[in-house]
Amino acid sequence: MAAVDGGSFLAPERAEGRLRLESPDPVRALVVRCGPYRLGVPAALVRGVVAASDIVLLKHPDLEGLVWWDGALFPVTRLNPLLGLASRGDELRGHGVLVHCRHGPLCFLVDEALDLVEIPGDSLRPIPSLMSKHTGLRGVESAVTLDSLLLIVDPVRLLGLERAAHLVAAAGEVSDAEASRRAGDCP
């Protein structure tokens, strides 16, 4: 499984699990909806998808919640605010998209996980550099033509590696505190 790092996930050099522009190989993407946006997350970055109901909501300044999946603890953050959309309060709805970055596991809450699609490699197109430069978007690097355009998003780059590291560390602290509390409860 590929881990996301600070570089381009569409970097021209071949790297396992990364999309590559004008690659002859088809690539798969998890299609998600966040407000009005329909976005694709490269399947190579995705570990799994959970229902929002599986997420344990936290009253924590940085973490929306936590979710256990496949033996790992994933800190949860919402994708919508990273896209300039308003967050919808305390309620957790939709799906959690589980990914791994170099700092550890992360879960991005989206309004809906819609589909897993296969995209012909030669239908990947860069979005105009003007667009990414102006919006300041990180991690939106290409669009593809299916029935319509689909922006391909790297959620970790949208979040930023520094913040990703902070979330992973915060999840570890919460987990350690919970373990200590349980140990203290035991006679």
Partner 1 sequence: MPPDAARPLGSAVARPPADQLQLISFGLGREWYAVEMRHVRGIEPETEITPVPLAPAWLAGVFNLRGNILPAVDPRPLLGIPPADARSGGLLVVFEWGGHPSALRVDVVDEIYEIAASSLEPQLSTVDASRQQLFLGQVRVRDRLIGVLDLAALMRPLLED
Asked if 20 interacts with partner 1 (CB under 8 A), we say: no
Q: How far is CA 50 from the centre of its chain?
A: 12
Asked if 130 interacts with partner 1 (CB under 8 A), we say: yes
Using the rule CB under 8 A, give the single segment among 43-51, 100-108, 119-127, 164-172 that binds partner 1.
119-127
Using the rule CB under 8 A, give the single segment among 22-30, 49-57, 131-139, 177-185 that binds partner 1.
131-139
Q: How far is the CB of 81 from partner 1 (least distance, A)?
A: 11
Asked if 86 interacts with partner 1 (CB under 8 A), we say: no
Using the rule CB under 8 A, give the single segment among 18-26, 89-97, 121-129, 167-175 that binds partner 1.
121-129
Asked if 37 interacts with partner 1 (CB under 8 A), we say: yes
28-48 burial, b if ≥16 CB within 10 A, otherwise e? ebbbbebeebbbbbbbbbbbe
User: Of 6, 7, 84, 172, which one interacts with partner 1 (CB under 8 A)?
Assistant: 84
Strands 46-51, 37-42: pairing is unpaired
User: Residue numbers of the site for partner 1 (CB under 8 A)?
Assistant: 34, 36-37, 82-85, 125-131, 133-137, 140, 143, 145, 148-151
